[in-house]
Amino acid sequence: MKSFAGVIGWPLEHSLSPAIHNAAFRRLGLDWVYLSFPVRAEDLATAVQGLRALGAVGANVTMPHKGEVVEHMDDLSGDARAIGAVNTIQRVGHRLIGHNTDVDGFLAFVRDDAGLRIADTRCLVLGAGGAARAIVRALDASGAATIALCARRDEQAEQVAALVSDAEVERLRWDSLPGESRAFDLIVNATPLGMRGQDALPELEPTEGQAVVDLVYDPPETPLVEAAKRAGGAGWGGLGMLVHQAAASLRIWTGQEAPVEAMSVAALHALSRR
């Protein structure tokens, strides 16, 4: 039987993961297929057990299940345990191991695509979900001097702040963003705001020399990224991180080096056809 993997989330109409991973499987010469598994919250436990019963090699997990799927894992990797979120499931025999490749994906994007220097910088992270947790862990590990957190839900933001061990932590109010965001070297949007069909972010005012990373990848250039470029700063959408975290997942499942360039081309092609 053909080996298979897939992505679990709800909804999944926007997902580029099947295009990215199937391109990688072809390039590596693997007789595997990657599928979409739209799963409602009430069906998550059943879906995870289905992966085990059907012999999936693994799966990715996306919104809104990254946190809730943790309790259905037999074990967790270090990043997944620290963050409390899983985006990659690995099947080892009959056991399911939860990983989080968002940390490595963001770091690879920063290093290989953006060429950003994080050490000793002041960083602002918008959001407090699983993606924001991964970004905060990555920034802290990279030597950021300050990590400021801004989210619409204070309790979640406090939980994310607890992940920071070395950097100075600041908290910003959501309604203060337009003015106070200008004081940072790097802004990372880890919310879905700005995605097609979603509300936009509050009106931010990026400045010259400021870097912006918006994890939203559809549209490829969000209003926040466009504003950063107009101001003379640098801006990137989330496609690069998406590809790099997918590459990290692939390495976990196959033990092989991921064909990142082929995965990037497939992602761009799929996005352009929308």
- Domain CATH number, residue 208: 3.40.50.720
- The pLDDT of residue 194 is 78
Residue 2 a catalytic site member = no
CATH number, domain of 89, equals 3.40.50.10860
**Mean pLDDT on 147-160:** 88
Are 257 and 220 part of one and the same domain? no
**Mean pLDDT on 123-139:** 94
- The pLDDT of residue 1 is 62
Are 78 and 110 part of one and the same domain? no
**Mean pLDDT on 54-79:** 95
The DSSP bridge pattern shows strands 58-61 and 88-92 to be antiparallel
**Mean pLDDT on 123-129:** 94
- pLDDT tens-digit readout, 254-270: 999 999 999 999 999 99
Are 22 and 131 part of one and the same domain? no
State the Cα angle at 246 between 41 and 241, rounded to 5°: 100
- Active-site annotation holder among 9, 19, 51, 66: 66
**Mean pLDDT on 12-31:** 96
Q: Looking at the 3D structure of the chain, how many domains does it have?
A: 2
Are 174 and 249 part of one and the same domain? no
Closest CA relative to residue 76, chosen from 64, 61, 54: 61
Q: pTM above 0.85?
A: yes
Domain extent for 61 = 3-100+241-272
- The pLDDT of residue 154 is 79
- pLDDT confidence tier of residue 197, bands split at 50, 70 and 90: low
